[in-house]
Chains A and B, each alone.
Chain A
Amino acid sequence: MKKKFDLTAITKSKLTWAVVAEVLILLVCLIVRPDFFKISYQESTGMLYGSLIDIINRSSEITIIAMGMTLVIALGGTDLSVGALVAVSGAIALKFLRWDVLEYTTPGDYTVCSYALVLIVPLVVCLLMGLFNGLLIAKGGMQPIIATLILMVCGRGIAQILTNGKQFTTGYSPFRVIGQGSFLYLPMPIIITVVVVAAVALFVRKTAFGTFVESVGINRSASRLSGINAQLIIFIVFALTGFLSGISGLIYSSRIMSNDSNNAGLNYEMDAILAVVIGGTSMTGGKFSLAGTVLGSIIIRTIVTLVYYFGIASEATMAFKAMIIAVVIVLQSEPVRNYFSKRAKKRAYAVKGGVI
């Protein structure tokens, strides 16, 4: 028997429901304000200009972190330190950019320590901090949520110390390129995100790494017995997440050309976890979906942009976001998906002329 179109499999997939949710949100926008979808070419910046571009552009920070978070959650853990690492990364970058901070001058291109240091040191430090998380979890046997709580709490403190609790501003134009530059008519963060997502996807799907992660996430002891080096897998995943938080931190601070140790990456851990969950990866570990995570991150940003665009009162913003997210999560829940897949089955059966 040839299967043409398996409706059951589609209705059962969590990813489908994430797509449905995003389409529904955008559909409401289309009805209320069709110009929400307007995209034009901005000559002064050489970039495409429109709310949809904004959504993808501003979701970059979360998408990049959520790539790592997906793997962490697939291992059955969570990484709470990502938001603090964003602040650390920005603080280090600005520290190098404003080595001259004692002699305050007006904005412009500052003499900086070598630009390479500005980019490399934050990423290396974040990678090491990720390794530290991995060490506590793999070697120390700590629960990931507890182990990463350490850096979540003290990371912002480290960022504050690095910059003496001050907010530095820079006008160094090569640094501006990361968050505000453009490439191929698109904002640079989108390009960086595409590269990161592609690299992570290739790494986990074209090698056996993704399978190893899923295997360790489902049953660590069994994976170890079957010859998978679970400790090494945990190390790599947490170090990668730290590194990706570092990239995200550079984008964040380049957007505002400043460090903001109090607010940079604030609640990013929650947004990243939410993106992964909306994308259909289960918090209990095991199978994961990178594409779903990207979509989850875009859904979160769509909601934020919607609030701004439609001028929803600031008091109601939180409730509005919570409402949409609740609907999305409920749509994806097991009972709801089962209900729809049962209906699809029934219908398929009925079409074939069966008696229900």
Chain B
Amino acid sequence: MKKLVALVLALVMALAAASALADVKVAFSQIGQESDWRTANTDSINGAIKGHEGWELIYDDAQQKQENQIKALRNFITQNVDYILFTGVVETGWEEVLKEVNEAEIPLILIDRMPDCMDKIEYAAAFGGDFVEEGRRQVAWAGEYLKSIGRGEEEVNVVIMEGTTGAGAQVGRTEGNLAAMAEYPNLKLAAQQSGNFTRAEGQALMESWLKSIDKIDVLIAQNDDMALGAIDAIKAAGKVPGKDIIIVGCDSVKAAFDAIVAGEMNCTVECTPLYGPFVVDAIEKLIAGETLGKELIHPVEGVYDMEGGINVGNDTVSVKAADVINERQY
């Protein structure tokens, strides 16, 4: 028995020694695999860190469970890693474990989803999408596009297909959608309802809208999946998606690019999962002794449509989807 314990100890020490060879140990607690977006997000961050010379990645997939993430974070502390990257599966309940990370003086980098205790803990940097801006861009694109085809004065009916009620993306994008609607007085809100971010519900919702609303000109779907579902419903109603009804999605998944190239969808506003380069850049800056501040850092995101060249404000001009479809990684 004693021998066994000694053997295990020796093994642990050997492993510890081996891992100490790497210069920088970066640990990443990811929530698990839930969607293509999340897979691309994981691959991007992991790839960027693994690909960096002298850096070692310790990755933990929490399988959508908070207790797994808390365990992983505590493991990272015991392993004495140099940086912790963290995306929380839920917003609440992180204060205790993140304070432990602070006590261990490991720089914490928050990614994508922000815990609600942000103002009570220390963190080195925070990266996240700007949902409000994405929502604003969706409507701005529709407004500007209508102007560009000479329908800027015409009254058009807009329907907003929201995401899962209460989700961060739904709250932010709805706020952005409604704020931008006020900027374009020719856009009239005909209906807004949740399609739960899924293709099936987007399809069923559009099917009903086509019957209850006499004239729908623009569909703003808060993610691409709902837009793709709606396309089938529009076809079934004998209308031409992309022409009779202008469809604006969000996320910029590859299937949406395919639909745009096929002429069945008009635009998709990007919500990029490719955080790898930004995160590597941030860690390099931190190593060099710079500080990145408490403000949420937004990744650079584009807007993709059929023709390109629509200015949606904030220095962003849409890009023709067909030109960049082969570069899409997710």
Interface residues of A (CB under 8 A from B): 33, 35-36, 38, 42-45, 47, 49-51, 54, 58, 104, 106-107, 160, 165-167, 169, 180, 252, 255-258, 260, 262-264, 304-305, 307-315, 317
**B261 contacts which chain A residues (CB < 8 A)?**
106
A42 CA to B211 CA, complexed, in Å: 12
14 pairs, A vs B, C-beta closer than 8 Å: A33-B212, A49-B236, A50-B211, A104-B254, A106-B258, A106-B262, A167-B255, A169-B228, A256-B203, A257-B232, A260-B225, A262-B34, A308-B207, A308-B212
B193 contacts which chain A residues (CB < 8 A)? 307-308, 311-314, 317
Contact B204 A304 (CB under 8 A): yes
Candidates A54, A104, A307; contact of B207 at CB < 8 Å: A54
**B33 to A165, Cβ gap below 8 A?**
yes
Known A-B contacts A104-B254, A305-B208; the reply to A180 vs B232 at CB < 8 A is: yes
> Is B157 an interface residue when CB atoms closer than 8 A count as contact?
no
Pairwise interchain contact A44-B39, C-beta atoms closer than 8 A? no
Stretch with Cβ within 8 A of A (4 or more), from B109-117, B128-136, B147-155, B194-202? B194-202
Measured in the bound complex, the distance between the Cα atoms of B204 and A107 in whole Å is 22
Given contacts A58-B204, A106-B258, A256-B232, contact A263 B209 (CB under 8 A): no
Q: How near does chain B come to A211, taking the closest CB pair, in angstroms?
A: 38
C-alpha spacing A49/B238, complex, angstroms? 10
Q: Nearest-CB distance from A173 to chain B (Å)? A: 13
A38 neighbours in B (Cβ, 8 Å): 211
Main secondary structure of the interface of A (DSSP, over half): mixed
> How distant is B196 from chain A, measured CB to nearest CB, in Å?
7
Q: With an 8 A cutoff between CB atoms, is B237 at the interface?
A: yes
**Interface: B270 (CB within 8 A):** no
How far, in angstroms, from A336 to B255 measured CA to CA in the complex?
52
CA distance A258 to B254 in the complex (A): 13
Q: Is there an interface contact between A314 and B194, defined as CB atoms closer than 8 Å?
A: yes
- Give complex CA distance A107, B198 in Å: 20
The one of A49, A51, A255 that contacts B200, using a Cβ cutoff of 8 Å: A255
Q: Which residues of A have CB within 8 Å of B165?
A: 314-315, 317
Q: Is the interface of B mostly helix, strand, loop or mixed?
A: helix
The CA of A307 and the CA of B198, in the complex, are separated in Å by 17
Shortest 8 CB-CB contacts between residues of A and residues of B: A308-B208, A314-B194, A44-B238, A256-B199, A165-B33, A263-B198, A309-B212, A311-B191
- Could you say which residues of chain A place their CB within 8 Å of the CB of B198? 260, 263
**Mask for B209-222, Cβ within 8 A of A = 1, else 0?**
10110000000000
Interface residues of B in 220-241 (CB under 8 A from A): 225, 228-229, 232, 235-238
How many residues does chain B have at the interface if contact means C-beta atoms less than 8 Å apart? 37
Docked pose: A336 CA to B188 CA in angstroms: 47
A51 to B162, CA, bound (A): 21
Whether B262 contacts A107 by the Cβ 8 Å rule is yes
**How far, in whole Å, are A317 and B229 apart by their CA atoms in the complex?**
20
Question: A168 CB to closest chain B CB, in angstroms?
Answer: 9
**A309 x B211 contact (CB < 8 A):** yes
Cα A44 to Cα B238 in complex, Å, equals 6
How far, in whole Å, are A49 and B236 apart by their CA atoms in the complex?
9
Check A308/B238 contact, CB under 8 A, given A104-B254, A256-B200.
no
| Chain B residues within 8 Å of A42, by CB | 236-238
Closest A residue to B208 by CB, please name it.
Answer: A308
Q: Per-residue CB proximity of B227-270 to A under 8 Å, as 1/0? A: 01100100111100000000000000011001101100000000
> What's the nearest-Cβ distance from chain A to residue B287, in Å?
33
Q: What's the nearest-Cβ distance from chain A to residue B220, in Å?
A: 14
Distance in Å: Cβ of B157 to nearest Cβ of chain A: 13
Q: Output the least CB separation between B42 and chain A (Å).
A: 10
Query: Which residue of chain A has the shortest Cβ distance to B199 in the bound complex?
Result: A256
- Contacts of B300-314 to chain A: CB distance below 8 A: none
How long is the Cα–Cα vector from A43 to B239 in the complex, in angstroms?
Answer: 11
> Chain B: which residue is nearest A264 at the CB level?
B200
Q: How far is the CA of A104 from the CA of B261 in the complex (A)?
A: 15
B66 within 8 A of A: no
Q: Is the CB of A260 within 8 A of B199?
A: yes
Report how far A280 CA is from B255 CA in the complex, Å: 44
Q: Are A308 and B209 in contact (CB under 8 A)?
A: yes
Q: Which residues of A contact B192 (CB under 8 A)?
A: 311, 314
Give the distance to chain B from A68, nearest Cβ to Cβ, in Å: 21
Q: Check B232–A310 contact: CB distance below 8 A.
A: no
**Docked pose: A150 CA to B261 CA in angstroms:** 43
B67 at the interface (CB under 8 A from A): no
- The listed residue (A45, A167, A255) touching B35 by CB distance below 8 A is A167
Contact at A180–B208, with CB atoms within 8 Å? no
B205 at the interface (CB under 8 A from A): yes
Cα–Cα, bound, A21→B283 (Å): 62
The answer to whether A252 touches B200, judged by C-beta atoms less than 8 angstroms apart, is yes
Closest chain-B Cβ to A309's Cβ sits at a distance in Å of 5
Rounded to whole angstroms, the CA-CA distance of A311 and B235 in the bound complex is 22
Give Cα distance in the complex from A204 to B177, angstroms.
53
Judge whether A45 and B200 touch: CB under 8 Å.
Answer: no
Tell me how far the C-beta of A166 lies from the nearest C-beta in chain B, rounded to whole angstroms.
6
> Which chain B positions have C-beta within 8 A of A33?
212
List of A residues within 8 angstroms of B225 by Cβ: 260
**B36 in contact with A166 (CB, 8 Å):** yes
Tell me if B212 and A311 are in contact (CB < 8 A): yes
| Contact A166 to B162, CB < 8 A, known contacts A44-B238, A54-B207, A317-B194 | no
Q: How far is the CB of B178 from chain A (nearest CB, A)?
A: 13
- Give the chain B neighbours of A106 by CB distance below 8 A: 258, 261-262
In the complex, what residue of chain A is closest to B33 when comparing beta carbons? A165
The residues of A that contact B235 with a CB separation of less than 8 Å are: 44-45
**Judging by beta carbons under 8 Å apart, are B212 and A45 in contact?**
no
Q: Closest B-chain residue to A166, C-beta based?
A: B36
B203 adjacent to A51 (CB under 8 Å) = no
Bound-state CA distance A33–B259 (Å) is: 34
Please, how many angstroms separate the alpha-carbon atoms of A334 and B262 in the complex?
57
> In the complex, which residues of chain A have a beta carbon less than 8 angstroms from the beta carbon of B236?
42, 45, 47, 49, 180
A-B contact sample (16 more), CB < 8 A, given A304-B204, A308-B208, A317-B165: A54-B204, A54-B207, A54-B211, A104-B254, A106-B258, A165-B39, A180-B232, A252-B200, A256-B200, A256-B228, A257-B232, A260-B198, A262-B34, A305-B204, A311-B212, A314-B193
